[in-house]
Structure 1
Amino acid sequence: MLALVRLCLLLVCLKGSAAEAELTPPHDLFMLTLNTNYTLTWDWDQSAAGSDSATFTVQYAGNHQLKKRNPKWTTVCAETSGRSCDLTRSGLNYLGLYTVRVQTNMNGSHSVWKSLQFCPDKDAAIGPPSKVQLGVSGSTLDIFITDPQNSSNGSMKEQLNKLYYEIVYWEQPKDGKGSTPMTMTTDVTMLTLSKVEPWTRYCVQIRSHDDFYNKSSTFTQPLCTQTEGVVPWWKIFLFFLLSLVSCFLVVLLFLYGSHRCFQMCKATFLPNEKLPSYIKQHEGDYPCLIVSDCELDLCDPVIVCPESAILMNNPAVDSAAPPAGLDQDRSGRHSRQNSSSSGDSGVYSAGGNSAGLQPKVASTFTDVNPLFNSEKLNMLSMNSEFKVSPVVQDEGVVDMEV
């Protein structure tokens, strides 16, 4: 009975082994790497499975685990339908040695494992600098390099402490003629190229190197810039002159704009024309204003001097003959007034001679006060209440009452 059971188990194992042998395993395993990014790729013959779809399982283990009786395999991709598996986040040590294997699964059956030995330090490729910048300082050329980055955005110098860079630079061709490329190496990320010509355009390419396993990256894309030199004095003077003229024009435009703005505001809020235009067009059709008594108080004062003072101040009157109708008494009074020895002053009565004095009063206005012009006389004549009456005073001065 025991022998029969053993025979059945043996048949089952042989049948399972035959089914696994019939399923085609993956082939052409390849590890695609860059710095610390690892991706396992493979190929598989679909024609052997017909219309059925197959899946794949990927595992890895350290080579030191393979020496144990029951090694520990870590599954990275289980039952994946693709032809690749990303091992970047699997925690592989850059200096470790690993075995990676892949198996085909279809309808509950499994193929044999296909394995690959992988050492990141030896097999992983390194990339070029992640960033390159050029700076010009006079006639020198400054180069700024950013280290290649690993999967955690750190510098690859954390894994490759002997990493350095190869720099190739050359003069950009002019008329189809270029200079011979020059090469230099450095392990720093900032350097200055002093052996360059001023006012010349140069191009630079850089790649990474590691000598332990003789690994090199590809070159970066060419980056070009032009060097500078000493600026001639005439250029400095020209720039200064242009800047001075520009500042003057800006100030002039500002002042002109401010003046125009002020004039517009003044014309808007404080116009020069006090009367509207339609009133000024008919200005001659309006009657003149009548001067009131209050406005007469604002006129200049008028002083009427006696006839004796007028005769003394007016030579033309003294030399003229006395008008007709004057009697000897008046001439005698003239002589008494002109006499300096007499202390009595003559007194004139308002009656009899008032008609003869009125013309003298009018002439006295114009002779004594020249500022009293014709325009003021017209204003006085328009006032119907204006009256002139001589008043006899003791001192011989004739006053006018208004």
Structure 2
Amino acid sequence: MNLVLKWNAPEGAASSVVYTTEYKTSVTTYIVGCVNISTLECDFTRLNISIRPSIVEYGKYTSRVRALSGSESSAWVESNHITLDKDTIIGSPNVSLFSNGATIEVSIEDPVLAISALRNVYIFATYNITYWKDSQKEKASHISNIQQNRVFLNDLEPWTKYCVQVKINTERNPRPSLLSRIICESTTKEEEAPWVAAMVTFVFMAMAVALVVVTALYRKSISHFLCPKDALPEHFKEYLLAPPNSTVYLAMRNPPPLKEIFHQVSIIAEDKTVDEGGPLEVAKTTSSKQPDVTVEER
């Protein structure tokens, strides 16, 4: 969806030759495009639109170019007529694959346009999906006229590598888009049917709801069962609250005062007096005596 004019240089042109381009719509005169450029193409969609009309999706355009060298210039050479949405080359979509058991999910992104978006220009654009087992493209399967950008390939063989390629078809543009690059992904084990998971989920939800309803209706009975309020019989209370009459318990609770048992021991020593000049042995014998000690054994 960009508007690009391309041309060939004149034979024998010097390197100093520059070019000037112009373009027009079906309802306007020529508008100045690229001026004094040395390249051999001009992208009108990249020009400053603040001083020029913008390129629109459904416009009809013609452009022209001339060469200039110093004060000399060639004649204008006019291009072919183009209707942007019908004649543009639509780029290839971007494709991603995600394996889920024996199913492969194909995710498709539209190519980016220079102006607008693909779905704004081509409202009824559809995808054609081609897929095949790896190395068996001659046996490829096709899914056509798909508008969703997420498609599930079911009924695939488990543990098998599949390759996918996608192109875009539009009603306004007679040519399909460029083919996407070939991308491959392998399936894994075959999963249970979706209804099995749905049934299990439904059973669990039903049981949870039933449990909530039963709890709400019989909450008093459940509370009485878990936390009974019935009192013990009186004879149970009297038995449990009566003091024990065991002789051992009574003896331990009111013990008699302890009786102290002891023997008195008295040690009487002689006087420590030693005569001056007396024999040393007598003094030693006398000094070895100990004072009176009283010991009580309890």
Task: Quickly name the TM-score band, shorter chain normalised.
Answer: 0.5 to 0.7
Structure 1: how far apart are the matches of 2:148 and 2:191?
31
Deviations 1:121-159 (A, max 9, x none): 222100111x3222233322111111122114x531211
Aligned length: 205
Query: Is it true that 1:193 corresponds to 2:122 in the alignment?
Result: no
Please say if residues 201 and 224 of structure 1, whose CA atoms lie closer than 8 Å, have aligned partners that are also in contact: yes
> Do the aligned residues in 2 keep the contact of 1:52 with 1:106 (CA within 8 Å)?
no
Q: Distance in 2 between matches of 1:214 and 1:76?
A: 29
C-alpha displacement at 1:349, in angstroms? 11
By percentage of residues, which structure has more helix? 1
Distance 1:138 1:57, change over 3 A: same
1:181 to 140, 144, 147: 140
Out of 62, 65, 77, the residue aligned to residue 25 of structure 2 is 62
Alignment of 1:132-151 (within 5 A): 132-151=95-114
Q: Which amino acid aligns with 2:5?
A: L
SS of the residue 1:80 aligns to? coil
* Alpha-carbon distance in 1 for matches of 2:293, 2:30: 147
Cα offset for 1:89? 3.2
User: Corresponding residue for 2:122?
Assistant: 160
Distance in 2, Cα, partners of 1:349 & 1:220: 123
State the alpha-carbon separation in 2 of the partners of residues 386 and 137 from structure 1.
110
CA RMSD of aligned residues (A): 3.5
| TM-score (structure 1 length as normaliser) | 0.45
Q: Which runs of 4+ in 1 moved over 3 A?
A: 302-306, 348-352, 385-391
Measured after TM superposition, the shift of residue 45 of structure 1 is 2.4
Choose the corresponding residue for 1:223, options 174, 179, 183: 183
Q: Distance in 2 between matches of 1:112 and 1:128?
A: 38
Q: Secondary structure at the match of 2:157?
A: coil
Alpha carbons of 1:304 and 1:211: their partners in 2 closer, same or farther (altered >3 Å)? same
1:323 corresponds in structure 2 to: none
**Paired position in structure 2 for 1:79:** 36
CA shift for structure 1 position 58? 0.4
Counterpart CA distance in 2 for 1:77 and 1:351 is 140
Show CA shifts across 1:157-213 (max 9, x none). 21112211111111224xxx7782111121211111112122322221112222434
Name the TM-score, length of structure 2 as normaliser: 0.59
Structure 2 residue matching 1:121: 3-state secondary structure: helix
| Residue 128 of structure 1 pairs with residue 87 of structure 2 | no
Match of 1:171 in 2: 133
* Matching of residues 228-307 of structure 1 within 5 Å: 228-230=188-190
SS in 2 for 1:122: helix
Post-superposition Cα deviations, 1:224-268, rounded to whole Å, max 9, x if no partner, equal 222233579xxxxxxxxxxxxxxxxxxxxxxxxxxxxxxxxxxxx
Q: CA deviation at 1:388?
A: 7.1
Is the contact made by 2:269 and 2:291 (CA closer than 8 Å) also made in structure 1?
no
Question: How much does 1:104 deviate?
Answer: 1.6
The answer to whether the 8 A contact 1:389-1:400 is kept is no
- Inter-partner Cα distance in structure 2 for 1:142 and 1:222: 15
Amino acid paired to 2:142: T
Distance in 1 (alpha carbons) for counterparts of 2:64 and 2:121: 25
Alignment of 1:43 with 2:8, yes or no, is: yes
Select the structure of larger CA radius of gyration: 1
Q: For residues 172 and 3 of structure 2, what CA distance do their matches in structure 1 show?
A: 20
SS of 2:155 mapped into structure 1: coil
Aligned to 1:209: 169
Contact 2:26 2:60 (C-alpha < 8 Å) held by counterparts? yes
Give the secondary-structure state (helix, strand or coil) at the position aligned to 1:167: strand
Gap runs ≥5 in structure 1: 1-35, 66-71, 233-301, 307-347, 353-384, 392-398
2: CA distance, partners of 1:64 / 1:226 = 55
Q: State the alpha-carbon separation in 2 of the partners of residues 196 and 137 from structure 1.
A: 11
What is residue 263 of structure 1 aligned with on the other side? Answer: none
Read off the aligned partner of 1:208 and give its amino acid letter.
I
> Which of 83, 86, 91 is equivalent to 1:119?
83
